[in-house]
Chains A and B, each alone.
Chain A
């Protein structure tokens, strides 16, 4: 079985501040992990993915995430928030030939 928990349905940060969105996963086998972003009235697009290579993964728009097996975490970070980062972010896990399981999402608000 696999599952994903995103801590915090809403996160607010000031423009220029650190962005930290939390994701913890559960998986019976080594997983692949993903972060997606959804802008208003759009579909989801992939930000970055972990596929068992480097544990620190860099994605688009300056985001990165670190796979920590001991903590079963895959938190998303960005050093300096920009107004254009305001969106909803989804963490997802894939373990074996199963469907990809998504978290419930975190809405990021960036305050000018």
Chain B
């Protein structure tokens, strides 16, 4: 099993450009997440999904949109990139067990630079 796969791994964008980050998981997990990681700020949740066709806002959703049309895929879109969106983006997935959310499985990350 591949686990959680993110594409692309690196990307440089110009301010105002748009792009989509793809996350795919092959573990049949219900929950999927997009985080961004910035120095000294830990992991901040952008958006998440608790099932196919559902999405919800996290802590820092502004400037991002997501879609989960298929259970195994979770897409993160930047409509008009800004330098403040320069970050490392991580996708993760997890599943519910005994009334709680279990450990998250992470992808390897996408390093995005907006110039």
Contacts and interface: CB of A to CB of B under 8 A. Distances in A.
Task: Check if A and B associate.
Answer: yes
Interface of A: 9, 31-32, 34, 36, 41-46, 49, 51, 90, 92, 94-100, 102-105
Interface string B26-64: 000001010100001111010010100000001000000
Interface string B71-115: 000000000000000000010101011111111111111000000
Given A43-B90, A97-B99, A105 B42 contact: yes
A99 B58 contact: yes
A92 B45 CA distance: 13
Given A43-B90, A104-B42, A99 B101 contact: yes
Contacts, number: 69
B43 A43 contact: no
Contact of B42 (A96, A100, A102): A102
Interface of B: 4, 31, 33, 35, 40-43, 45, 48, 50, 58, 90, 92, 94, 96-109
A44, A96, A97, A98: residue with the most chain B Cβ atoms closer than 10 Å: A44
9 contacts: A32-B101, A32-B103, A46-B103, A46-B105, A49-B103, A90-B43, A94-B102, A95-B100, A104-B42
Given A42-B108, A43-B108, A104-B41, A98 B90 contact: no
